[in-house]
Amino acid sequence: MAKAVPHYVKESPEWCSMLYLFSEHYKLSNFYTNAYFDFHKGHVYIRKLTQISKCWSESEKFMLALALHLYNPKNKLPRGLADMDRLDAGNMKLALKAISIRYQM
């Protein structure tokens, strides 16, 4: 990420949980750039992210959907949490950690 993360982002469980997945997931980390995040405006380019993910695997799409849902629940998980069953152990660990960050468990 070219720009430093602002203080308001670091204190937000919504932002932190999403950015945790974007910084730790092998696929999402490629898109943790200023092209998809504008911290100055407090904006995430969800349409752009959704568009690029169309050819991804189902588990990769789920991880993106989860990240966006944790950021804002209006971003629905297409099949709810049912797709978590498809995650391998590493992705499951990332997903559960992101959920715990969001809900501060």
Evaluate whether residue 35 is within a structural domain. Answer: yes
Q: What is the pLDDT of residues 18-74, one digit of tens each?
A: 999 999 999 999 999 999 999 888 899 999 999 999 999 999 999 999 999 999 999
Tell me: pLDDT of 12 over 60: yes
- The residue range of the domain holding 58 is 13-102
Helix pair angle (13-24, 89-102), 10° resolution: 160
Report the predicted TM-score, pTM, of the whole model to 2 decimal places: 0.92
Total domain count for the chain?
A: 1
Tell me: pLDDT of 4 over 80: no
Evaluate whether residue 8 is within a structural domain. Answer: no
Position 56 scores a pLDDT of 96
Q: How far apart are CA 68 and CA 42, in angstroms?
A: 14
Quick one: pLDDT band at residue 97, thresholds 50, 70, 90? very high
Q: How far apart are CA 4 and CA 6, in angstroms?
A: 6
Evaluate whether residue 1 is within a structural domain. Answer: no
